[in-house]
Chains A and B, each alone.
Chain A
Amino acid sequence: MSVFNREAAVRLILLRLARLGAELGKPALAQADEQTRLFGEASHLDSIGLVTLMSDLEEDIHRACGVRIVIADERAMSRLTSPFRRVGLLADHLVELVAAAQA
């Protein structure tokens, strides 16, 4: 089983954001960093874009780590601070989900 740490999660999200940015004609997404807003004010993704990013990440993680995760679940939705707000928060969320799935 490969190690999926926070650094790997951030790298994976930034790679996916850059590719999605190219698809959507939003090159600014290639310059994203941990503080980049994923959703809400000053974000480059709409809800369908955000769901597309999640689906791509779920597939990537399945290929890389051999586990199936669901990024948007009721637990994530009911958190006070949404894990979908910034790249860094989503990375934390992914690490948690993968660890739970591998346990």
Chain B
Amino acid sequence: MSDWFVQRLEERAAGFALRGPWGDCTYAELGRLTAAARADIRALALDGPSVFALVGEHEPAAVAWLFALAAEGHAVAPLAGNLAEHPGKLAEVGAQWIVTVAGFGWKLLPRMSEPSVHPAFLRLRERGHAGLVLFSSGTSGRPKAMVQDLTVLLDTFAGRRPNRLPVLALLGFDHIGGLNTLFATLAAGSTLVVPADRSPPVVAAAMARHRVAVLPASPTFLNLLLASGEAGTRDLGALRVITYGTEPMPEGLLGRLRRAFPAVRFIQTFGTSETGIARTESPDASSTFIRFADPLLEWKVVDAELWLRSRTQIDGYLNPQEGADRFTADGWFRTGDKVELGPDGTLRILGRLGEAINVGGEKLMPAEVEAVILGVPAVVDCRVRGEAHALIGQAVVADVVAAPAADQEALRASIRAACRRALAAHKVPTRVLFVDAVGGPRLKKTR
């Protein structure tokens, strides 16, 4: 098990590691849960590395299982969010075991259909290391699974300076940013505060109740927090630092935030699922430019696109056809982020190159939404795109060609209903427009 984790479990035994709707979990309790999870894994008497899907949010049992699987050298795929997307992801990673978590408890189930282990996991096992699988939206509409070395990732958190500043968990347990927040908080021996959901009122109430000092959030969440009026009605006086990332920060919004939280320091972060979260600094508090200050990371800008190479980058994609062109032969990752260079080695994120749509920091590819819409009766063709939106960064728009006799109002409702059933909430088109034709072919309707 990671040395720093063991050390914190001992030093901070009586301190809170996690606080959330399921109650408070001390470091001692987290240690007991982790030991119990390790015992459950050993009782399976596995003769090689196995792939575990871990279904839950930042709950005590989920965190315990993550560290237990890392310690036992297995691969773990955290799954959170919309259940409808889980079957595709389970199949993509070939999960052999499923752990479903609720607060302090868990259930462990075999998934009999998957006898073999992907070579990517066997390569990790040869190094004696555990694996982590995260997903991003694939260009074909299929989820894209990325494999990384969990042992190396955890090691990068060793030697963090201890502090007692409670941190809010806003990004998901299946998101590199959400895991980074978890590891950084525990490595500092601090407390992670987990809200019951991510709506501004619930988050603001949890922040006030547990005196949260550090809020890692997307610009969209911060925008919604201001728009909901919660920032003015709750006592957020303990708040000292807001870190923001995952999408561009509009300058107007940063100005409004600094007026609403005059005593808070704003720090921009930057990361990708492929390369991990980078340490960055800002030239000054009112600037939307950043500078990389991370000894584990190299960067350069090629044709206005940001390229990164880091020690914590992924080993590769499970399906090598997916996104293999995102990495160069010498290990550079093309982020797909369009950037502008500033003075003194700084840069600013302008948005995405290509087709990806960024809704409040959560990305999606048009093809995965188009595939669902094309399955709706009376839809002849469709094209999905992003459009700028002052509340959530970008909104998902579907241009739809309907069958001649279709009732458009009813069809709009069925399109959204089909998307809500099959996709995560941020992928559902907020605007459905009926058009006579859409541009060139991307997907063809086959029925």
A residues whose Cβ falls under 8 Å from a Cβ of B: 19, 22-23, 39-42, 46-48, 50-52, 54-55, 58-59, 70, 72-74, 76-78, 81-82, 84-85
Contact = CB atoms under 8 A, between A and B. Distances in A.
Interface of B: 199-201, 220, 223-224, 226-230, 250, 252-253, 256, 359-360, 389-392, 395, 413, 416-417, 425-426, 428, 430-431, 433
A27 to B, nearest CB: 15
Contacts of B390: 70, 72-74, 76-77
A20 to B, nearest CB: 9
B201 A40 contact: yes
16 contacts: A39-B224, A39-B227, A39-B228, A40-B201, A55-B395, A59-B433, A72-B390, A72-B391, A73-B390, A77-B223, A77-B256, A77-B390, A77-B391, A78-B252, A82-B226, A82-B229
B224 A47 contact: yes
Contacts of B223: 77
Contacts of A47: 220, 224, 360, 391-392
Given A23-B417, A76-B390, A82-B228, A48 B430 contact: yes
Contact of B395 (A19, A41, A51, A78): A51
Task: Please report whether the interface of chain B is mostly helix, strand, loop or mixed according to DSSP.
Answer: helix
B204 to A, nearest CB: 9
B152 to A, nearest CB: 36
Nearest to B233: A41
Contacts of B230: 40-41
A76 B227 CA distance: 9
Given A48-B359, A85-B227, 4 more contacts: A39-B228, A40-B201, A46-B425, A51-B395
A53 B253 CA distance: 22
A72 B252 contact: no
B413 A23 contact: yes
A71 B413 CA distance: 21
Contacts of A55: 395, 430-431
Nearest to A74: B252
